[in-house]
Amino acid sequence: AQSVTQPDIHITVSEGASLELRCNYSYGATPYLFWYVQSPGQGLQLLLKYFSGDTLVQGIKGFEAEFKRSQSSFNLRKPSVHWSDAAEYFCASSDWGKLQFGAGTQVVVTP
Amino acid sequence: DTGVSQDPRHKITKRGQNVTFRCDPISEHNRLYWYRQTLGQGPEFLTYFQNEAQLEKSRLLSDRFSAERPKGSFSTLEIQRTEQGDSAMYLCASSLEESGVGELFFGEGSRLTVL
Cβ A43 vs Cβ B108: under 8 Å: yes
Burial class (CB in 10 A: 0-12, 13-18, 19+), B30: middle
pLDDT at B81 over 70: yes
Q: Do A96 and B100 touch (CB under 8 A)?
A: yes
Is B19 within 8 Å of B90 (Cβ atoms)?
no
With cut-offs at 50, 70 and 90, classify the pLDDT of residue B60: confident
Cα–Cα distance list, A93 to A16, A48, A84, B66, B81 (Å): 29, 12, 25, 26, 33
**What CA–CA distance (Å, rounded) separates A109 from A15?**
6
CB contacts < 8 A, A to B, total 63
Q: How many CA atoms lie within 13 A of B110 on its CB side?
A: 26
CA dist., res. A66 & res. A58, Å (int): 9
Mean pLDDT of all residues in chain B?
Answer: 91
Q: CA nearest B35 in A: which residue?
A: A99
B97 pLDDT more than 80? no
Q: Which of A46, A97, A101 sits opposite B97 (nearest CB)?
A: A97
Confidence of residue B102 (pLDDT cuts 50, 70, 90): low
**What are A60-74's pLDDT values in tens digits?**
999 999 999 999 999
Cα dihedral across residues A55, A104, A36, A5: positive or negative: positive
Separation between Cα atoms, residue B63 and residue B41, nearest integer Å: 23
Give the chain B residue nearest A5 (alpha carbons).
B42
- B48–A98: do the CB atoms touch at under 8 Å? yes
Closest Cα in chain A to B57? A98
Distance from CA of B106 to the nearest CA of A (A): 6
Judge whether B33 and B45 are in contact, CB under 8 Å.
Answer: yes
